[in-house]
Structure 1
Amino acid sequence: MAVLLTGCGITMPTDPYGSLEHATGGTLRVGISPNGNLTVADDGEYSGKEVELIRGFAESIDAEIEWTVGSEEALVRGLEKQQLDVVIAGMTDQTPWAERAAPTRPYMKTKADDGSILNLVMLVPMGENALLSELETYLDTQREDA
């Protein structure tokens, strides 16, 4: 099948809205919802483990970051409207938003207050598979536990 697709000039994965192409050498639009030490947004200053990861990813694709702070629900709407490229919020692989946005593979484990282990993910717009693939490849190189 891959040979047939290659012969047709189709490359996999693709982004129907061009998220990765738009961000590479341009602007990566990142939504952030504060969540403990993972995502901190304080008066225009951003920090935390996920913030550092997304900064590294942006650097890897030569992109500047445009930050949008909001609730998870508002940020997922931004993904759906192609107004955001990535959402970080300390979300787990059990996020209810997976029906409306595409989660990355789990890339980091953290411990919940009750001692259970949580697998963290980031979200990208549904169907933006090239962006998702590039982000997951980067995250795979940065694995560590929170």
Structure 2
Amino acid sequence: MKPRHRRMAAIAAGLAVLGTAVALVLNAFNRNLVFFYSPSQVAAQEAPAARTFRLGGLVERGSVQRRDLTVHFRVTDTARTIAVRYEGILPDLFKEGKGVVAQGRLGADGVFVAQEVLAKHDENYMPPEAAQALQEARK
């Protein structure tokens, strides 16, 4: 084999390895990408059914029901409401009428099964996506 052919084979092998590495990185990134949806978007079936996503809005007043570590509550954007089930300890700042972002999946029964619940951390903070979803729902 001529040196020129060996060099071309090495370049082709290097490009194949680089292409495979890029494909694996992009695949992992796509699997871990989590999008934010409001209750109105979830009700309109814009949220993915088989993927994890974030649901944000306000905890509806009078909707929190606790049984041991299982908590049922509803998240609203003032236009639509989605039922949420979470098993675990809620953040200290979790309260009715306050902002919340829950990460999980939508169950077959239409209940959002949260794996993680985040509450706003002070009086002035709300995730930008949740604030925008609430403003759009009010319009």
Give me the TM-score of the superposition, normalised by structure 1: 0.27
Higher relative contact order (CA 8 A, sep 6+): 1
Give me the TM-score of the superposition, normalised by structure 2: 0.28
